[in-house]
Structure 1
Amino acid sequence: MATEMKQPPAYAIASVDHALRLATILQLEGGLTVADAAERLGVARSTAHRLLAMLVYRDFAVRDDTKVYRAGPVLELASHSRSTASRLRQAALPHLDRLVDELGESVNLTVRTGSTTRFIACAECRQALRVGSREGMVFPAHQTTAGLLLLSELTGEELDSTYAGAAQAEVPDMDQLRRELTKVRRNGFALNQGRSERGVVAIGVPVRSGEGAAIAGLSVSMPSVRYDRGRLRPIVAILASAASALEKDLHSE
């Protein structure tokens, strides 16, 4: 059963969105100064300071003696995953920027937790019509390019176990999913045509650890009107080259 695509609220509150984005950054990446926060959100330093002060008040953040804000008690429950995500993100950013220049489209780095995926790094292209940043957002794994890549690495038992505890409404058609994952595994890449969002095409390849396990998905997203089927293989080759370069950086640390 398909899960409904999340849509922005009709009356979005910018300050709430900014605060939630800061909480996500603190949880995934570690410390932030007021200047860092202002730059990431594109707001004035005074606004960033007020947002961080509210996160401190509600225990989502703490400020140390050097005036650096870090994840507070509420976010520390997930601190074990922050270092891995932060290392992946920091290593990936230069490669994402180069991919944007080479492909002219927005690119993403995504990880999987259970039956969901989280976008941990994004680089937007500069075209007027583009796929915007989804950094920090969580989606059902079977609806995303990276999710398909990472699910395809699981054994049949592991796949069943992944969805065993999910709510019924969140469980896809497992027979169909197995067929799709077999194709992804055979091809070595995933093609997502409107699966997570109508009018968007995404192509992705896995990023692997030194032991060969897929730890993330590296993907490019574009409006479907710009997708040229004839470019599929060249795009996969460019992504695979970037993934290989990222893996070398990770393994050399």
Structure 2
Amino acid sequence: MAKSMKNPPAYGVSSVDHALQLAVILQVEGPLTVSEAARRLGVARSSAHRLLSTLVYRDFAVQNEDRSYRVGPVLEIAAKAQSNVAAIRSAALGPLRALVDTLDETASLSIRVGRTVRFIASVECAQSLRVGNREGMVFPAHQVSGGLVMLAALPDDELTALYATTPGDGTAEHPDLAELRTELRGVRRSGVALNLERSERGVVAIGRGVTDAHGETVAAVSVAMPSVRYSPDRVQGIVAALTRAAEAISTAIARPDGRSPTAEGPDAAR
């Protein structure tokens, strides 16, 4: 099965990274004020205003009458999908923080869009050597733990249809379907997926599915760590913590108010 590595650049341009983060927030969460943007990015209001103004200029954002900003035509997605993603993300934040408190490793939530997976929430751990924030990043679904969990939830005919065509322009990878099916059978049996440096060099991740009120797998929660801290001896404890987090998020999604159990008290999800 073909593999590609996604590694951070050797250099970074913070203003570009901040603008991209804002574009992702607008797309998956909805309207944002200058003050909220400044708080989320940890920058001054003036810097946040310049970033949002640039997004407006390039049609990535539009300013509302109340001076807040919403997604522009370049990134606009269906209102229903946007609402669903925002609700899932909101339900996951408390359990993700509890997961990080338990394991002291970075935790993330992802959704599947066709053959790809997008990370819609991420909480970093406090360790100096850690996996960074994954929010907004996109990977081939078959290369990450959360994507494998979500692919494993598909009926075989849907999986076949999903990978029925091979991209002719080389822009997307096409896995060996027989090999993928074998791997997904193991994921279905265990309920979890393991990514041993498949998507990023030096990173190991374990993922578990999140279900909605109808039992459909709509997202995946994962824990990622530097490979030097991974050991098979840790898997049982990680899976137990992942299971608690996935169940808490699933319960919150099914609740009318969408609140996660951790929102009701600091020990509710413990």
Question: If the TM-score is normalised by the length of the shorter chain, which range does it land in?
Answer: over 0.9
TM-score of the superposition, structure 1-length normalised? Answer: 0.95
Whether 1:193 aligns to 2:177 is no
Q: 82-91 vs 35-44, which deviates more?
A: 35-44
Separation in structure 2 between the aligned mates of residue 159 and residue 82 of structure 1, nearest angstrom: 24
Aligned to 1:25: 25
| TM-score where L is the length of structure 2 | 0.89
Amino acid at match of 1:42: G
Give the drift of 1:184: 0.3
Shift of 1:229: 1.1
Identify if the C-alpha distance between structure 1 residues 219 and 55 changes in structure 2 by more than 3 Å, giving closer, same or farther. Answer: same
Q: Give runs of ≥4 in structure 1 deviating > 6 Å.
A: none
Separation (CA, whole Å) in 1 of partners of 2:26 and 2:136 = 11
In the aligned structure 1, how far is the partner of 2:77 from the partner of 2:191? 35
Equivalent positions of 1:1-253 (< 5 A) are 1-167=1-167, 169=170, 170-253=173-256
Report the CA distance shift for 1:166/1:10 in structure 2 as closer, same or farther (over 3 A): farther
Identical counterparts, % of pairs: 56
Cα deviation for residue 11 of structure 1 reads: 4.8
Distance (Å, rounded) in 2 between the aligned partners of 1:77 and 1:232: 37
The number of residue pairs the alignment matches comes to 253
Is this contact kept in 2: 1:27–1:78, CA < 8 A? no
Q: Check whether the contact 2:196–2:203 (CA below 8 A) recurs between aligned residues.
A: yes
Deviations 1:176-208 (A, max 9, x none): 111100000011111111111122111111100
Higher helix share: 1
Residues 49 and 6 (structure 1), Cα distance of their counterparts in 2 relative to 1, 3 Å cut: same
Provide the rounded CA distance (Å) in 2 between the counterparts of 1:15 and 1:36: 17
Report the CA distance between 1:13 and its aligned residue: 2.7
- Check conservation: 1:3, 1:140, Cα contact below 8 A: no
Deviation at 1:143, TM superposition (A): 0.5
Q: Secondary structure at the match of 1:7?
A: coil
Q: Which has the higher contact order (CA 8 A, sep 6+)?
A: 2
Contact 1:27 1:79 in 2 (8 A): no
SS in 2 for 1:73: coil
- Match for residue 262 of structure 2? none
Q: Contact between 2:203 and 2:225, CA under 8 Å: does it hold in 1?
A: yes
Instruction: Output the aligned Cα RMSD.
Output: 1.5
